[in-house]
């Protein structure tokens, strides 16, 4: 699953896939967070988070604010 999500991240980075797909994927992954889904979300945001911040800062920070704070907290735990 991680490889497929990273592939989607690369498609988003190259603007082949819309950023809304990336935002929805993060929402789905963190909707009911498990250790595995958080790990996949961390990998995904690591791959395309900078592009999403540039293209859609309100989408990344707005509707997913709670989920991203959860992601940041779990990212610290993973490191």
Is the entire prediction scored with pTM above 0.85? no
Higher pLDDT residue, 54 or 74? 54
pLDDT at 63: 47
Q: 25 near 64, Cβ under 8 Å?
A: no
Domain boundaries, the chain: 2-78
CB atoms within 10 A of CB 55: 15
Q: pLDDT (tens digit, 9 = 90+) per residue, 7-38?
A: 999 999 999 999 899 989 988 988 888 889 88
Cβ-proximal residues to 6 (8 Å cutoff; 6+ apart), any chain = 43, 44, 47
List the one residue out of 46, 44, 31, 49 whose CA is nearest residue 1. 44
């Amino acid at each position: 699953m991680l490889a497929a999500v990273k592939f989607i991240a690369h498609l988003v980075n190259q603007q082949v896939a819309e950023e809304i797909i990336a935002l929805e994927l993060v929402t789905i992954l963190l909707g009911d967070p498990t250790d595995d889904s958080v790990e996949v979300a961390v990998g995904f945001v690591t791959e395309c988070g900078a592009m999403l911040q540039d293209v859609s800062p309100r989408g990344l920070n707005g509707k997913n604010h709670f989920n991203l704070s959860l992601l940041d907290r779990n990212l610290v735990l993973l490191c």
